[in-house]
Amino acid sequence: MIGIETLSTNRAHGGVQGVYRHQSSATATPMTFSVFVPDHAPGTTLPVMWFLSGLTCTHANVTEKGEYRQACAELGLIFVAPDTSPRGEGVADVPDYDFGQGAGFYVDATEAPWSAHFRMRSYIEQELPALIAAAFPADMTRQGITGHSMGGHGALTIGLRNPDRFRSVSAFAPIVAPSQVPWGQKALAGYLGDDPAAWRAHDAVALIEDGARVGELLVDQGDADSFLADQLRPQLLEAACHAAGIALTLRIQPGYDHSYYCISTFLADHLRWHAERLG
């Protein structure tokens, strides 16, 4: 795999879980990501599932806590988990957990100093898929995308902007309308400037209002999530999907919070849902 450094590989559930690093042209930094590849017949290619993580996370959170490998092995799915932002010396940062390193929000920043490295939209939509296609047995005509919290925002917006690329889109506790909640308003203003019109391409509800369409969405949300009322507000996505005729399955899960205890409980359900649509 030219240009990719293998950091680790482990045998798991009849497949290989790898962690890799490469020098990104989009972010101008090294970027780390993980890939699980199930065993498969030589010469065959497999559908690809993308998982985008949330605030403060790296690739490691879902890789270590997601409990997805058994389902991916059974379903024949490659599972790709990128990092959430550029990192390293010389990369702009602030002490806040909801902005800067670990909080890239899957946008291409236009405001200094963030614009030098924070180009996560280009990284996720263009650079990393090309790398996955070249280095792994991936069928890039069959891709699904999901994510958690900030990564749920990323999955929804990237899926809505690229319906020809992603056959299936889901999310866990996503920030559905960042333009209308504190986390998103802080991040979008900081990365993209003060004009809310520039934020709409990075807001799932606004994208739907502006005409973006997918056939259906699956969202799981815990009702014990401490961020539910102020930051996540799934009812806004529900209203937008209803108005647009998008089939949204919104599952409110009693007693579940915002943690990986919730994600790991329902991630296999999501993978089965995606696999049905990926063929």
Q: What is the CATH number of the domain that holds 180?
A: 3.40.50.1820
Active site residue 257: no
pLDDT per residue as tens digits for the range 157-202 = 999 999 999 999 999 999 999 999 999 999 999 999 999 999 999 9
pLDDT per residue as tens digits for the range 92-127 = 999 999 999 999 999 999 999 999 999 999 999 999
Say what the pTM is: 0.98
Q: Which residue in the list 24, 34, 85, 149 is annotated as catalytic? A: 149
Q: Take residue 84 and report the two structure tokens written for it.
A: 């959430």
Judged against a pLDDT cut of 90, whether residue 5 lies above it is answered with yes
Q: Which residue in the list 59, 153, 258, 274 is annotated as catalytic? A: 258
**What's the total number of domains in the chain?**
1
Average pLDDT, the chain: 98
CA separation for the pair 188, 66 (Å, rounded):
28
Judged against a pLDDT cut of 80, whether residue 63 lies above it is answered with yes
Q: Which residue in the list 148, 220, 225, 270 is annotated as catalytic? A: 225
In the chain, % of residues over pLDDT 90: 99
Active site residue 59: no
Residue 2: band (very low, low, confident or very high) from pLDDT cuts 50, 70, 90:
confident
pLDDT per residue as tens digits for the range 214-256 = 999 999 999 999 999 999 999 999 999 999 999 999 999 999 9
Domain of 68, in residue numbers: 4-278
Stretch 68-87: mean pLDDT = 98
Active site residue 225: yes
Stretch 50-62: mean pLDDT = 98
pLDDT at position 206, please?
98
